[in-house]
A = this chain, B = another copy of it.
Amino acid sequence: MDIEIWFDFASNYSYLSVMRIEELARARGVPVAWRPFLLGPVFKSIGMDNSPFVTQKLKGAYVWTDMERQCRKYALGWTRPASFPRRSILPARIATLADGQPWQAEFIRRVMRLNFVDDHDIEDSAALSQILDSLGQDGQAILAAAESDDVKQALRARTAQAQQRGVFGAPTFFVGDEMFWGNDRLDDALDLAAGQR
């Protein structure tokens, strides 16, 4: 069975899973289905105005220490973003448009690195276009297509689907109907998916 990874480009714990999932999934023969969505509307629908890492001071302070340690453990680059959470609508639209394309996964990882390694605005068209070009795509054309009504609607529908399935944070993994929340559950979710092949 495949594993769905529901993520937001603004989410730091999503960064950890996005960077790790393909290698771990490949080792178990599990296909990965990418599910970009927007955490903002999900948070709002459950009465939260912002990330808990912003609204809860002690937890917020802890999270950046935790991220440093986790990135060291997983040998991932890490820079605490000067702006958090960053607006992530444009790259989420591009990742939605890229569904089923062979460059989707690498695009997603590059945008995550733009946010959490380069500490750069992830709605910067020039930076996104450059990433797309470097993946052999037509950056300008894809940026234009990402602003089409179809793509906007597809991302809205994806986000609504997250709410319907009980998603309340990111990353969230689904293996069939079994939901797993957080980077710390990636291995458990993969084990379940591998056992159900």
Query: How far apart sit A65 and B189, CA to CA, in the bound complex (Å)?
Result: 13
A73-B188, A188-B73 as given contacts; A181 in contact with B46, CB under 8 Å: no
Interface residue tally on A, bucketed by range? 20 to 34
The reply to whether the CB of A58 lies closer than 8 angstroms to some CB of chain B is yes
The reply to whether the CB of A57 lies closer than 8 angstroms to some CB of chain B is yes
Query: Nearest-CB distance from A192 to chain B (Å)?
Result: 9
B-chain residues with CB within 8 Å of residue A61 when the two chains form the complex: 166
The secondary-structure label for the interface of chain A is helix
Which residues of chain A (45-73) have a CB below 8 Å from chain B?
46, 56-59, 61-62, 65-66, 69, 73
The reply to whether the CB of A168 lies closer than 8 angstroms to some CB of chain B is yes
The reply to whether the CB of A150 lies closer than 8 angstroms to some CB of chain B is no
Query: How far apart sit A184 and B16, CA to CA, in the bound complex (Å)?
Result: 15
The digit string for A165-197, where 1 denotes a CB below 8 A from any CB of B, is 011110000000001111011001000000000
Identify 14 new A-B residue pairs, CB closer than 8 A, beyond the known A58-B166, A66-B181: A46-B56, A46-B57, A46-B58, A56-B168, A58-B167, A59-B181, A61-B166, A62-B166, A62-B168, A65-B179, A66-B185, A69-B188, A182-B184, A184-B184
